[in-house]
């Protein structure tokens, strides 16, 4: 009887410990804190805690040299935490390029290329209808907007199609590409919520820069802009890849919010046993390259003018370039990359990439988006009867080989 009581007590204590060591993440999933103690998920800090961290950090770098040392530590943790401390060998991109669909001032081609052997990145290439020489290149990652088939999903969202088309009209080569497990590859078996998604998504962005250069983009004028989860991709890539010359993370840079999806915070890129950072410091790794923060009053960027922006501007000032960081705050706007966000971004990219702003905006500040065709999701798929999915193509996350 005593033995049974002991077993019962051990069982109850075990259950209590198990419950106490779990936390509910931003996606409603329980994460074992003992197994993954270094993950900073979703609203990991309160607004006050995020500000306090920045206030403390500001005192630790008071010179440009001190910040550069800190930035190196941040980049190292991103790469180590993502499992990219040593890059895999870059395979040939072997691009699959679809036929041109010509519209008013721009043209679109469906694209797929290999980021790793058999691993395909899918997207759409937007280019001007009339252009000469090497053009600026812009990456357009998307956020977690919509659901498949609803007409407003991922890179098929009208906001993504509009900004990609307008930027092409302005004179850029624009590549809008799918997150891991989105789009056509999701129909083949790929999943977005996978333990290695952050790693592969970051690697795909690195290879997307390679693709832009392969397509003739000017290596001195490469930019990236995305909203929400696409904003996370924007500042992560900019932090680790100095080929990015201009960055515009939209409605995502926050002192306390670390990204709620596994593709943003599902690997220990923010924290280790003796290290802690947040997305403000990661975004600041762009310094002294031009960067625009776009924020709104209805999400975790509502305090950007008072908290995040001043801290990053301070860092730019340490490097002697305080005017290369800007913030457009839209207090009455909601989360997204909608009309007002695009109206803020076009002039900034035109300024630093040498694009023709008259192709995007009227003198009164209204947008020129007439004539842009919002294509159906499947019309933007790269694989079809003429361009079948390659026989070496990998159809699920678990078959990816890193070497």
Domain ranges (residues) in the chain: 96-380
What the block records as the tokens of 184 is 């056509």
Q: Facing residues of 50 across strands?
A: none
Q: Are the CB atoms for 38 and 271 separated by under 8 Å?
A: yes
- The listed CATH number (3.10.180.10, 3.30.70.260, 3.40.50.1820, 1.10.287.610) that belongs to domain 96-380: 3.40.50.1820
**Buried b vs exposed e over 257-282: b needs ≥16 C-beta within 10 Å?**
bbbbbbbbbbbbbbbeeeeebbbbbb
Q: Which helix (H) or strand (E) holds 325?
A: strand 325-330
What the block records as the tokens of 231 is 């904003």
State the first-to-last Cα distance of the chain, in angstroms, to the nearest integer. Answer: 57
Alpha carbon 395 to its chain's center: 23
How many residues does this entry show for the chain?
403
What the block records as the tokens of 357 is 């702003």
Closest among 222, 228, 196 to 296, alpha carbons compared: 228
Decide the pairing of beta strands 22-24 and 325-330.
unpaired
What the block records as the tokens of 278 is 């947040």
Quote the CA–CA distance of 3 and 9 in Å, as a whole number.
Answer: 10
**pLDDT value for 148:** 74
Spatial neighbors of 228 by CB under 8 A, at least 6 apart, are 143, 144, 145, 250, 251, 252, 335, 336, 337
Tokens 């419950």 sit on residue: 19
- Per-residue tens of pLDDT for the chain, all 403 residues: 444 343 333 333 333 233 333 333 333 333 444 445 799 999 999 999 999 999 999 999 999 999 999 999 999 999 999 999 999 999 999 999 999 999 999 999 999 999 999 999 999 999 999 888 899 999 999 999 987 767 688 999 999 999 999 999 999 999 999 999 999 999 999 999 999 999 999 999 999 999 999 999 999 999 999 999 999 999 999 999 999 999 999 999 999 999 999 999 999 999 999 999 999 999 999 999 999 999 999 999 999 999 999 999 999 999 999 999 999 999 999 999 999 999 999 999 999 999 999 999 999 999 999 999 999 999 999 999 999 999 999 999 999 999 8
Quote the CA–CA distance of 115 and 92 in Å, as a whole number.
Answer: 8
Q: Are the CB atoms for 88 and 206 separated by under 8 Å?
A: no
Quote the CA–CA distance of 69 and 394 in Å, as a whole number.
Answer: 40
Quote the CA–CA distance of 380 and 149 in Å, as a whole number.
Answer: 12
Q: Give 218's DSSP letter.
A: E
CB atoms within 10 A of CB 12: 10
Q: What is the pTM of this model?
A: 0.90
**pLDDT value for 133:** 86
- Per 3-state DSSP, the chain is made up of helix, strand and coil in percentages (nearest 5) of 35, 20, 45
């Amino acid at each position: 009887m005593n033995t049974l009581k002991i077993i019962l007590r051990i069982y109850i204590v075990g259950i209590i410990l198990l419950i106490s060591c779990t936390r509910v993440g931003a996606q409603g999933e329980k994460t074992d804190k003992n197994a993954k103690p270094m993950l900073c998920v979703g609203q990991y800090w309160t607004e006050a805690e995020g500000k306090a961290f920045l206030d403390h950090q500001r005192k630790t770098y008071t010179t440009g040299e001190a910040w550069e040392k800190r930035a190196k530590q941040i980049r190292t943790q991103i790469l180590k935490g993502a499992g990219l401390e040593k890059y895999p060998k870059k395979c040939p991109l072997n691009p699959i390029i679809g036929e041109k669909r010509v519209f008013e001032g721009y043209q679109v081609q469906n694209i797929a290329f290999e980021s790793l052997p058999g691993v395909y990145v899918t997207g759409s290439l937007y280019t001007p209808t009339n252009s000469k020489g090497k053009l600026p290149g812009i990456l357009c990652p998307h956020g977690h907007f919509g659901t498949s088939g609803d007409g407003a999903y991922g890179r098929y969202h009208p906001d993504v199609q509009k900004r990609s088309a307008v930027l092409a009209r302005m004179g850029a080569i624009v590549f809008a590409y799918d997150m891991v497990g989105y789009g056509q590859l999701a129909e083949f078996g790929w999943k977005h919520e996978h333990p290695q998604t952050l790693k592969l998504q970051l690697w795909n962005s690195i290879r997307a820069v390679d693709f832009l250069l392969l397509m003739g983009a000017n290596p001195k004028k490469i930019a990236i802009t995305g909203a929400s989860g696409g904003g996370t991709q924007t500042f992560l890539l900019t932090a680790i890849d100095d080929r990015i010359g201009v960055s515009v993370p939209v409605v995502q840079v926050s002192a306390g919010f670390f990204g709620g999806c596994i593709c943003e915070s599902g690997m220990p890129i923010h924290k280790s046993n003796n290290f802690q950072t947040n997305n403000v410091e990661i975004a600041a790794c762009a310094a002294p390259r031009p960067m625009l923060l776009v924020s709104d009053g209805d999400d975790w960027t509502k305090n950007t003018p008072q908290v995040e922006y001043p801290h990053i501007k301070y860092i730019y000032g340490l490097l002697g370039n305080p005017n290369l960081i800007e913030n457009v705050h839209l207090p009455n706007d909601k989360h997204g990359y909608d009309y007002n966000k695009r109206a803020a971004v076009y002039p900034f990219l035109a300024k630093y990439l040498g694009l023709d702003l008259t192709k995007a905006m009227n003198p009164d500040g209204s947008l020129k988006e007439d004539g842009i065709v919002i294509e159906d999701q499947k019309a933007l798929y790269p694989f079809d009867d003429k361009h079948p999915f390659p026989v070496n193509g990998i159809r699920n996350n678990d078959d990816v080989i890193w070497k």
